[in-house]
C-alpha cells in the first residue's frame, strides 16, 4: 500500500518536473511591459535542528511526525526542515493557477514530496474569485504560511495551538469576496471539500464534508482573523469535528504582536467528547536586522475524557536575524511545562517516564525564499 | 569571549537603534490621463500591498515597483507602510505562497517608471521627488 502511493507520488513529481522543464523558457522570457509574467517559480525552505532536554520522549511539531527531538535524535532535523517549490501561472487577468510541492518530514519517516496545493482560480472581478482544487485551509492567522518560515517571526508556529488541526488543505472549492470600506479591507472565504490525512500509524483518516467560513479584516498594520470549520471524520463517533479560531496581529514596524485563541471539539472512537483549547500571545521588537521576541502558549483540555488529558504551556523567547537578502536565522528556546499527570504533546514516550515536569527545547533554524 | 566580529555586530545593532536612515522625499505618480487627483497614504499603501485593485473612482489600478535596492523603493515602503525591505520580502513571501497575490512588477528606476506611467492611465508608481516633471501627475507626497 505504502509502496504504491509512494510510486504514484514519484510519478506525479516526475510529471511536474517535466512540465516545469518544458515551461522554463517561457518563465525566463521577461517582457519590457509591466505585466505579470505568465509563469513564476518561487521556492521556500527551512533548515533546522532542535535539541530537547527530555531523552525519554520526542518533541515534535505535531502528531503527524513519527520522530522528533529527544528520544529519537539528540539534534533533530525532522521537526522544522522542509523545502517547497511553487509554480504560479497567470493565464489571463481572470484565470490563474497555483501548484505547490513540499518535501517535509512525514508520517512514514520519509521526506517524500507531496502536492500541498494545486488549484485553478477564476477572478470574476479583482475582488471576487473562485478556486477549485487543493486549497490551503485558512483555519489560523498564519495557517496558509505556516510552512514558509521566512514569512513568520518565530521558529515555528506555537505547537500548542497549531497542532489542534492536522488538516491543512482540502480538495474542493472555495470563493473569496473582498470589500473595502473606511480604509479597511475585509475578505470572506467560504470553502467546501474533503481530504485524507495519513497518521503516524499509517492509517488514513478521511475528512469529508469539510465546510469552512473564514474572515480576515485588515486595516493599516492590524489584521483580525476568524474561522469556523466543520467536517466529518471517519475515526470519530459521532463523526462531527468542529474547529473555531479568533486571532489578531499588529505590526507597525518597530514592534509587533500577535495572539490567537483556538477551540477544537471532537469525539473519540468511543463517543467521548474531547474539547481542546489553545491560545498564544507573541510579541517583539525590531532592532536593525534583529528581532528579539517571546511567545507564551498554552494547550488546555477542557473536558475530562477518562484518559490522560494532554496539557502543556510554553514560554519561548527567541531572536530572528535577517542576516542576508532572502535568508534569516532564528534561535529559539522553548521552556515547556507539562500539565500534571500528562506528557503534554510529547510523542514516543518511553515506558516508566514520569508525567508532568519540564522540558527545554533549543532550536536553530535558517529560512530562505527564492 | 567576544570576538571582534561579534562586537562589531553588536555595535552595529546598537547603532541601528540610534541612526535612523535619512530617506529621500518620494512622490506617488499616475498618468496625466488618469482622473485621480490625490490619494491618501492608506490608499496608496493598499494598492501596493495588493489589497486594493482600483483607484478611488473604481478604475483599474496596476502598481509598479522600482527595482529592488533602489533608494526610492526603500523610502517609499518605509514612509507609506512603515516596512523595511526584509519585512516587505516576508510580506510578499506570505502572499505568493498563499496564492493570494504577486508583488508589483519591477520596472526600473525613476526614469523608467516615469516613462511607463506617463503613457498608461492604469499604472501607479513612485519616484524620487527631484525626478518629478510634467510628463506625470503627482497624487501623494511622502516626506
Per domain, the residue ranges of chain B are 23-142
Residue A339, min C-alpha distance to chain B (Å) = 34
Residue A265 lies in a domain: yes
Q: Which residue of B has its CA nearest to A367?
A: B90
Residue A14 lies in a domain: no
What SS3 state is found at A5?
Answer: helix
Query: ipTM for the complex?
Result: 0.77
Residue B116 has its nearest CB partner, among A34, A150, A328, at: A34
Tens-place pLDDT, residues A325-361? 899 999 999 999 999 888 999 999 999 999 999 999 9
Residue A10 lies in a domain: no
Report the pLDDT value the prediction gives residue A282, as an integer from 0 to 100. Answer: 97
Residue A130, min C-alpha distance to chain B (Å) = 12
Determine the structural domain holding residue A218 and report its residue range. Answer: 36-369
Report the pLDDT value the prediction gives residue A26, as an integer from 0 to 100. Answer: 44
For the segment A21-33, the average pLDDT, to the nearest whole number, is 43
For the segment A161-174, the average pLDDT, to the nearest whole number, is 90
Residue A355 near residue A363, CB atoms below 8 Å: no
Whose CA is closest to B134, among B10, B5, B29, B3? B29
Residue A17 lies in a domain: no
Residue A21 lies in a domain: no
Residue A44 has its nearest CB partner, among B16, B91, B97, at: B97
Residue B123 near residue B116, CB atoms below 8 Å: yes
Residue A31 lies in a domain: no
Residue with cell 472565504: A189
Tens-place pLDDT, residues A265-286? 988 878 888 889 999 999 999 9
The enclosing domain of A217 has a CATH number of: 2.40.160.10
How many alpha carbons fall within 13 Å on the CB side of residue B15?
A: 7
CA Rg, chain A, in Å?
A: 21
CA A151/CA B90 separation, integer angstroms: 4
Higher-confidence residue of A155 and B24: namely A155
Residue A237 lies in a domain: yes
Structural domains in chain A (count): 1
Higher-confidence residue of A24 and A238: namely A238
Report the pLDDT value the prediction gives residue A67, as an integer from 0 to 100. Answer: 93
The CATH superfamily label for domain B23-142 reads Periplasmic binding protein-like II (3.40.190.10)
CA A124/CA A36 separation, integer angstroms: 18
What is residue A147's DSSP assignment? Answer: T
Residue A293 lies in a domain: yes
Amino acid at each position: 500500500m505504502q509502496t504504491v502511493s509512494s510510486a504514484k507520488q514519484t510519478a506525479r513529481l516526475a510529471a511536474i518536473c517535466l512540465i516545469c522543464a518544458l515551461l522554463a523558457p517561457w518563465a525566463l522570457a521577461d517582457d519590457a511591459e509591466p505585466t505579470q509574467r505568465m509563469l513564476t517559480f518561487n521556492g521556500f525552505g527551512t533548515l533546522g535542528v532542535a535539541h530537547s532536554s527530555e531523552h525519554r520522549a520526542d518533541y515534535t511539531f505535531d502528531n503527524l511526525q513519527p520522530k522528533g527531538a529527544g528520544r529519537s535524535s539528540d539534534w533533530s532535523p525532522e521537526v522544522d526542515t522542509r523545502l517547497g517549490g511553487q509554480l504560479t501561472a497567470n493565464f489571463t487577468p481572470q484565470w490563474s493557477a497555483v501548484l505547490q510541492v513540499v518535501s517535509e518530514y512525514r508520517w512514514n519517516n520519509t521526506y517524500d514530496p507531496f502536492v500541498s496545493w494545486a488549484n485553478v482560480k477564476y477572478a470574476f472581478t479583482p475582488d471576487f474569485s473562485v478556486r477549485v482544487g487543493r486549497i490551503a485551509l485558512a483555519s489560523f492567522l498564519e495557517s496558509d504560511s505556516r510552512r514558509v518560515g521566512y514569512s513568520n517571526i518565530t521558529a515555528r508556529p506555537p505547537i500548542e495551538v497549531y497542532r489542534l488541526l492536522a488538516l491543512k488543505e482540502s480538495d474542493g472549492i472555495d470563493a473569496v469576496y473582498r470589500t473595502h470600506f473606511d480604509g479597511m479591507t475585509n475578505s470572506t472565504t467560504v470553502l467546501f471539500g474533503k481530504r485524507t490525512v495519513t497518521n503516524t500509524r499509517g492509517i488514513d483518516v478521511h475528512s469529508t464534508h469539510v465546510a469552512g467560513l473564514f474572515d480576515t479584516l485588515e486595516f493599516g498594520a492590524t489584521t483580525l482573523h476568524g474561522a469556523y470549520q466543520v467536517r466529518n471524520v471517519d475515526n470519530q463517533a459521532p463523526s462531527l469535528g468542529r474547529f473555531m479560531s479568533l486571532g489578531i496581529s499588529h505590526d507597525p514596524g518597530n514592534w509587533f504582536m500577535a495572539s490567537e485563541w483556538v477551540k477544537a471539539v471532537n469525539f473519540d472512537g468511543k463517543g467521548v467528547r474531547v474539547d481542546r483549547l489553545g491560545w498564544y500571545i507573541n510579541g517583539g521588537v525590531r532592532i536593525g536586522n534583529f528581532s528579539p521576541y517571546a511567545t507564551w502558549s498554552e494547550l488546555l483540555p477542557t473536558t475530562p475524557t477518562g484518559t490522560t488529558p494532554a496539557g502543556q504551556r510554553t514560554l519561548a523567547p527567541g531572536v530572528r536575524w535577517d542576516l542576508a537578502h532572502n535568508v534569516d536565522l532564528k534561535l529559539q528556546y522553548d521552556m515547556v511545562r507539562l500539565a500534571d499527570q500528562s506528557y503534554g504533546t510529547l510523542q514516543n514516550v518511553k515506558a516508566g517516564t514520569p508525567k508532568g515536569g519540564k522540558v527545554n527545547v533549543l532550536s536553530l533554524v535558517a529560512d530562505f525564499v527564492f | 569571549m567576544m570576538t571582534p566580529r561579534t562586537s562589531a555586530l553588536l555595535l552595529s545593532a546598537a547603532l541601528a537603534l540610534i541612526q535612523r536612515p535619512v530617506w529621500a522625499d518620494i512622490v506617488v505618480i499616475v498618468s496625466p490621463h488618469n482622473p485621480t487627483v490625490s490619494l491618501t497614504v492608506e490608499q496608496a499603501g493598499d494598492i501596493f500591498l495588493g489589497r486594493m485593485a482600483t483607484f478611488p473612482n473604481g478604475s483599474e489600478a496596476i502598481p509598479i515597483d522600482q527595482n529592488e535596492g533602489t533608494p526610492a523603493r526603500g523610502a517609499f515602503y518605509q514612509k507609506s507602510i512603515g516596512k523595511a525591505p526584509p519585512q516587505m520580502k516576508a510580506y510578499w513571501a506570505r502572499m505568493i505562497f498563499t496564492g493570494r497575490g504577486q508583488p508589483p512588477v519591477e520596472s526600473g528606476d525613476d526614469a523608467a517608471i516615469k516613462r511607463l506611467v506617463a503613457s498608461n492611465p492604469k499604472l501607479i508608481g513612485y519616484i524620487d521627488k527631484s525626478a518629478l516633471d510634467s510628463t506625470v501627475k503627482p497624487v501623494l507626497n511622502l516626506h
